[in-house]
Amino acid sequence: MLHKDEAIVLFKRAYGESDKIIRLFTLTSGKIAAIAKGASKSQKRFANTLEPFNHIRVEYFEKFGKGLVRIDNADIVETNSGIERSLRRASTAAFFTEFADRLTKDRERNIDLFHTLKEVLLFTKQRELSYMDILRYELKMLETLGYMPNFTACVYCGKNVKEEMKVCFSRERGGILCSACSSPLPHRVYSAGTIPGIARIGNNHHRSAFEVHDKEGLPYMQDTGDVKRFEREAREIMEGFISFHLDVEFKSYRILKSLMG
């Protein structure tokens, strides 16, 4: 049957002589895999809309029981134009697109994730995102996916941990540990402000990254040295959480990381 939907193009790969294999994140049906027949030949007028990071309106045909849907028509809502302007923008867009692609299953509707991805791609077109912006959207995506690290209570015993005691993070268990549980369990110790800082950025997820000044509201941060340390530690926590707790590697992350210094 024929479906009409909005979608963000996550991935494309040439297939055979002239077809394209596409993954879309649709507004109403989540992630779907699709084939566009003859897409690499210029006669198909919608072919060039099926490029990563494009926001499109799409018509696709679904045969019951078949994995790949067939794209019959597509047109542009918002192009990816602007993302190509720097490697930093391109790898930031790729990182968030991979985030949505790798951490979702086929056909799981997630309207919040759709809008978050749409928003971060739009911002990436307009400017280069700072690390704080990237962290904010990373946390926002984890929240919409239900994978937010636990920054409130000890992930082992469940006891609430006081703000100033939030220093131990277990990347394997995906959250903080209280002082009693931390001694027998693998963890790393971070500076006093780091974990509360990440938690605060995570709680501000409903605000656009650009309404919040980079340093606003982060405790224990006096100078740029503190900010640098926060970024370094936050990055280690997020990297560890994603690769050990969620068990995924994003191909674009190595490139993005090399640009963040």
Who contacts 79 (Cβ-Cβ below 8 Å, separation ≥6)? 54
Instruction: Please report whether residue 28 would count as binding another protein according to CB under 8 A.
Output: no
Instruction: Please report whether residue 251 would count as binding another protein according to CB under 8 A.
Output: yes
In a 13 Å sphere around the CA of 160, the CA atoms on its Cβ side amount to 2
Among 2, 87, 157, 189, binds another protein (CB under 8 A): 87
Instruction: Please report whether residue 168 would count as binding Zn ion according to CB under 5 A.
Output: no
- In the complex, what is the shortest distance from the CB of residue 28 to Zn ion, in angstroms, rounded to a whole number? 41
Instruction: Please report whether residue 154 would count as binding Zn ion according to CB under 5 A.
Output: yes
Instruction: Please report whether residue 252 would count as binding another protein according to CB under 8 A.
Output: yes
Tell me how far CA of residue 129 lies from CA of 14, 20, 58, 213, 214, in angstroms.
30, 30, 29, 13, 11
Q: What residues from 179 to 238 belong to the interface with another protein (CB under 8 A)?
A: none
Instruction: Please report whether residue 80 would count as binding another protein according to CB under 8 A.
Output: yes
Instruction: Please report whether residue 131 would count as binding another protein according to CB under 8 A.
Output: no
218 binds, among Zn ion, another protein, none (CB under 5 to 8 A by kind): none
Instruction: Please report whether residue 42 would count as binding another protein according to CB under 8 A.
Output: yes
Instruction: Please report whether residue 96 would count as binding Zn ion according to CB under 5 A.
Output: no
Among 157, 207, 249, 254, binds Zn ion (CB under 5 A): 157
> φ and ψ at 61, to 5 degrees?
-110, 130
Instruction: Please report whether residue 121 would count as binding Zn ion according to CB under 5 A.
Output: no
Rounded CA-CA distance 129/229 in Å is 19
Cβ–Cβ under 8 Å, residues 54 and 121: no
Which tokens in the block code for residue 104?
């979702």
Rounded CA-CA distance 132/92 in Å is 13
Looking at the Cβ atoms of 81 and 179, the one nearer to another protein is: 81
Looking at the Cβ atoms of 211 and 247, the one nearer to another protein is: 247
Instruction: Please report whether residue 155 would count as binding Zn ion according to CB under 5 A.
Output: no
Contacts 24+ apart (CB under 8 A), 220-228: 220/191, 220/192, 220/193, 220/196, 221/193, 221/197, 226/193
User: Given the rule CB under 8 A, which of 65-73, 78-86, 133-141, 189-197 is the region that contacts another protein?
Assistant: 78-86
Rounded CA-CA distance 118/98 in Å is 13
Rg (CA), the chain: 20
Residues 88-127, one symbol each (x = binds another protein by CB under 8 A, - = not), give: --xx-xxx-xx-----------------------------
| Helix extents (H) in 103-251 | 111-126, 131-145, 179-182, 194-203, 224-240
157 binds, among another protein, Zn ion, none (CB under 5 to 8 A by kind): Zn ion
Tell me how far CA of residue 139 lies from CA of 18, 60, 96, 222, 256, in angstroms.
39, 32, 11, 24, 17
Residues that bind Zn ion (CB under 5 A): 154, 156-157, 178, 181
Footprint of another protein on this chain (CB under 8 A)?
11, 42, 45-49, 51-53, 75-76, 79-80, 83-87, 90-91, 93-95, 97-98, 251-252, 254-256, 258
